[in-house]
Structure 1
Amino acid sequence: MLGLPAHVTACLFDLDGVLTQTAKVHNTAWEETFNNFLRARADETGQPFQPFDPGADYSRYVDGRPRADGVRSFLASRGVELPEGSADDPPEADTVYGIGTRKNEVLLRRIAEDGVQVYDGSLAYLHAARWVGLHRAVVSASANCRDVLIAAGIEELVEVRVDGVIAREKGLRGKPEPDTFLAAAAQLGVEPGNAAVFEDALAGVTAARAGEFGCVIGVDRVGIGDELLASGADIVVSDLGELLVGAER
């Protein structure tokens, strides 16, 4: 059904890069935030400025992870350690949470300026999944998930939302741990083995495989299909519309 194994009764979708085109906005916001930090640090230390790579650095260290985890992971790759700080740190604080706050401010500004676009194939797939009676959840590390769903006009197409806000409230570990996907399946009343996960991030695919979900669909928007397969995806598509075409055949 819809390109999925017959035993699948629920679909768990990542948001950015799977349903909405905000992955590009996230990437640009991280690039601006990290490069401003790295440039200032280079000026202070006299070391060469090595910019954030929106390709390799984004997919390896940031994509799909909770915001603070993304900051820690990337800075660790550059040998930089900062104080943790706290979730209410202002954007000018040179702490893990302060940098995360800077990134979020850039992201919200860009979303306000450019809006949120939904991939056509994903919108068609959401409608088809609802039509045939598959349960639907969004599982995202973003604390802005609900606002993005509303801005994109697709909030009513999903039954359950497990995002960065809910994960923090419930003490759920972020991707690549499976906690948020497992929580979404539980809310839908579905066993993991009967749910399909749709992910574009390596950390998300790893999380889905760790949770022993029935089917893991890798969505390759940026040319990392082989890495998605290596991380545990059962199949990789470039757009969810491909699954609808396959189902029609």
Structure 2
Amino acid sequence: MSHPAAPGPTEPASNQPAPTLAVRAVLFDMDGTLVDSTAIVEQVWLEFAERYGLDYNEILRTSHGVQAGDTVRRYAPAGADIESLTAELGEMERARTDGVIALPGAEALLEALPADAIALVTSADRILADIRMRAAGLTMPATTVTAEAVTRGKPHPEGYLKAAALLGAEPADVVVFEDAPAGIAAARAAGMRTVVVGDAGGELEPGMWRIPDYSAVTVTAVKDDDGGHLITLTL
């Protein structure tokens, strides 16, 4: 089934119409995209950096959206037990939920979308994803691709491609909501249109858009002739 071509990249001026995307599936990152957990993430990486005398700002610059184990492997001192360190950091993150909130409009958007046409694709493991989504008051999508479900984390496209396949959608018929450079790179490598949430994603390219949050996003969804959904998102 063919769909209208997507408009080009835009951060529209106030007098321009909002971009409209026609898709068959919607994929979401979690941290920074649906859930604001910035304070906890930064606190955990600060403790890690201070313990080993590492450059905290450099770790933050490269760790957002990446699996924790990949960051530990990159920065831990030689001879460190990577698995134990990663497990320890995971336990620290799971125990801290103060200040975890949903981004504005996230709950309403998730509820408005067809449940069988959305997925969560996160670098967190399933336990942490459950904890953070619950702390933010958000319902976990039935389809999830967490850290345990992939062999290569973001920026590799494996997670997004797997989620699209689970939903029965072709990459060209998918839109990804992301906030971090690693996740944006993964979505783009998967051949998916990408909506950058917030201002941390760098420059926009063709097939990319930017929103501050979901407050102004509207959605309509209808069943198509194939039994799937044709979803129209207005940004």
TM-score over 0.5 (shorter chain):
yes
Q: Whose strand fraction is larger, Structure 1's or Structure 2's?
A: 2
1:128-187 Cα offsets, whole Å, 9 max, x none, are 223xx771110001011123233434235x2301001222xxxx3100000011111111
User: Do the aligned partners of 1:3 and 1:244 also contact (CA within 8 Å) in 2?
Assistant: no
Q: 1:147 aligns with which of 119, 125, 131?
A: 131
Flag structure 1 segments of 5+ consecutive residues without an equivalent: 39-49, 84-93
Give the Cα separation in 1 of the matches to 2:234 and 2:179: 24
User: Do the aligned partners of 1:218 and 1:228 also contact (CA within 8 Å) in 2?
Assistant: no
Flag structure 2 segments of 5+ consecutive residues without an equivalent: 1-5, 7-17, 220-232
Q: What are the residue-to-residue correspondences of 1:189-204 with 2, within 5 Å?
A: 189-204=168-183
1:127 aligned to 2:143?
no
CA RMSD of aligned residues (A): 2.9
Q: 1:235 aligns with which of 209, 212, 223?
A: 209
Q: Give percent identity, aligned residues only.
A: 29
- Flag the 1:151–1:198 CA change in 2: closer, same or farther, 3 A: same
1:181-212 Cα offsets, whole Å, 9 max, x none, are 11111111111111101111100000000010
1:8-67 Cα offsets, whole Å, 9 max, x none, are 1111000111111123322221122222221xxxxxxxxxxx6401xx5413x2111111
Q: What are the residue-to-residue correspondences of 1:27-42 with 2, within 5 Å?
A: 27-38=42-53
**TM-score relative to the length of structure 2:** 0.76
Q: What are the residue-to-residue correspondences of 1:1-249 with 2, within 5 Å?
A: 4-6=20-22, 8-38=23-53, 51-53=55-57, 57-59=59-61, 61-73=62-74, 75=75, 81-83=77-79, 94-111=80-97, 114=98, 116-130=100-114, 135-143=117-125, 144-156=128-140, 158-167=141-150, 172-213=151-192, 215-220=193-198, 223-225=199-201, 227=202, 229=204, 234-244=208-218
Q: Whose helix fraction is larger, Structure 1's or Structure 2's?
A: 1
User: Do the aligned partners of 1:160 and 1:187 also contact (CA within 8 Å) in 2?
Assistant: yes
**TM-score relative to the length of structure 1:** 0.72
User: Do the aligned partners of 2:20 and 2:234 also contact (CA within 8 Å) in 1?
Assistant: no
